[in-house]
C-alpha cells in the first residue's frame, strides 16, 4: 500500500497538479474571505469568526477533490495499466487504500496554510483573541471528516469510466447529493415529521453538528461509514473489472 501511496504523492508533485490544487483552494478561499465584498467576507461579517470559511470550503472542495481523484483509476484504465496493477502482490484494499490516502494527504496539505486565517482572525478580535476557538477547532475536525468522505466518493467515481471528465462529473454529483441533497429534500416539507431524519442522512447536518464544537460519536460514525462504504464499492468495482 505504501508503494502505491508514494507513487500517488510523487505523481501529484512531479506535475503541476499538486501545486495547482493547493493554489486554487487557497486563492478561492482568500478572495472570498478577504477581498470580494459579500456574505463570506470576514471584514464585512463584522465578527472575529471563521464561520464563513467553513461555509465556503465544503463547496469549493466538492469540485476540487473530484479534480484530484478523477485520474486515480480512470487513468489506469485508459493507459491499460490497471490489469498490470492488479497482478502485483497487493490486495485490492491495499491498492484502493494507497490511492485514497494519496488524495487525502494532498487535500490535507492544502488545509495547513489556512491556519494563518485562524491567526489573523484571532489578532483582529476586539479584544485580541475574542473568537470561539472551540467552534473553530470543531469545524476543522468536521472538515477533515468531510474531506475523507469526499475523497472516498471521488476514488469510487474514478472506477466508473476511463474518461476522467465522466469520473469528475460523477464525483461532483454524488458529493453534492450527499452534502446538500438530503437537506434540500427535507426543506421541501413534503415528509412531515421525518424531515429531520432525512436531513440527517446528508453530510451537511453532521458537518454542522461537529462545527458547533461538540464531537458527537454519531457524527464520526456517519462519516467513517460513508467513507468505508464508498471504498468498499471501489474494491467491488475493481474485482468486477479484474
Q: Going along the chain, which residue ranges are E strands?
A: none
**Distance between CA atoms of residues 140 and 108, nearest Å:** 11
Identify the pLDDT of residue 48: 67
Residues 6+ apart with CB under 8 A from 180: 202, 204
Domain boundaries, the chain: 1-241
Q: Answer with the residue of higher pLDDT: 74 or 227.
A: 227
Both ends of the chain: CA-CA distance in Å? 18
Q: Of the segments 27-41, 98-112, 218-232, which one has the largest average pLDDT value?
A: 218-232
Closest CA to 68 of 173, 147, 168: 168
Task: Decide if 147 contacts 107 (C-beta within 8 A).
Answer: yes
**Distance between CA atoms of residues 161 and 163, nearest Å:** 5
**Distance between CA atoms of residues 74 and 167, nearest Å:** 7
Q: Which residue has the cell 465522466?
A: 166
Confidence bin at 12 (pLDDT 50/70/90) = confident
Q: What is the mean pLDDT of residues 211-234?
A: 92
pLDDT tens digit string along 181-209? 988 887 776 666 677 788 889 999 999 99
pLDDT tens digit string along 144-174? 999 999 999 999 999 998 899 999 999 999 9
pLDDT tens digit string along 105-150? 999 988 999 999 888 888 876 777 677 788 888 899 999 999 999 9
Identify the pLDDT of residue 192: 65
Closest CA to 221 of 233, 229, 231, 232: 229
pLDDT tens digit string along 13-40? 787 777 888 888 999 988 888 888 878 8
Half-sphere exposure of 190 (CA within 13 A, CB side): 6
Q: Answer with the residue of higher pLDDT: 9 or 97.
A: 97
Identify the pLDDT of residue 189: 67
Confidence bin at 62 (pLDDT 50/70/90) = very high
Identify the pLDDT of residue 9: 82
**Distance between CA atoms of residues 64 and 28, nearest Å:** 11
Identify the pLDDT of residue 46: 66
pLDDT tens digit string along 46-61? 666 788 899 999 999 9
Amino acid at each position: 500500500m505504501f508503494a502505491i501511496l508514494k507513487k500517488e504523492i510523487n505523481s501529484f508533485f512531479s506535475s503541476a497538479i499538486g501545486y495547482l490544487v493547493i493554489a486554487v483552494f487557497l486563492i478561492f478561499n482568500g478572495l472570498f474571505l478577504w477581498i470580494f465584498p459579500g456574505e463570506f467576507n470576514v471584514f464585512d461579517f463584522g465578527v472575529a469568526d471563521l464561520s464563513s470559511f467553513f461555509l465556503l470550503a465544503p463547496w469549493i472542495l466538492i469540485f476540487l477533490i473530484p479534480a484530484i481523484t478523477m485520474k486515480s483509476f480512470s487513468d489506469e484504465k485508459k493507459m491499460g495499466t490497471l490489469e498490470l496493477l492488479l497482478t502485483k502482490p497487493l490486495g485490492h484494499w491495499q491498492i484502493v487504500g494507497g490511492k485514497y490516502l494519496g488524495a487525502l494527504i494532498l487535500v490535507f496539505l492544502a488545509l495547513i496554510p489556512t491556519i494563518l486565517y485562524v491567526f489573523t482572525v484571532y489578532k483582529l478580535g476586539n479584544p485580541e483573541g475574542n473568537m470561539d476557538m472551540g467552534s473553530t477547532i470543531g469545524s476543522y475536525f468536521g472538515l477533515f471528516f468531510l474531506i475523507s468522505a469526499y475523497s472516498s466518493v471521488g476514488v469510487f467515481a474514478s472506477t466508473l469510466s476511463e474518461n476522467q471528465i465522466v469520473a469528475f462529473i460523477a464525483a461532483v454529483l454524488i458529493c453534492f447529493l450527499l452534502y446538500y441533497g438530503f437537506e434540500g429534500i427535507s426543506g421541501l416539507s413534503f415528509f412531515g415529521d421525518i424531515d429531520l431524519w432525512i436531513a440527517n442522512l446528508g453530510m451537511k447536518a453532521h458537518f454542522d453538528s461537529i462545527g458547533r464544537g461538540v464531537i458527537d460519536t454519531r457524527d464520526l460514525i456517519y462519516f467513517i461509514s460513508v467513507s468505508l462504504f464508498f471504498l468498499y464499492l471501489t474494491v467491488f468495482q475493481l474485482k468486477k473489472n479484474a
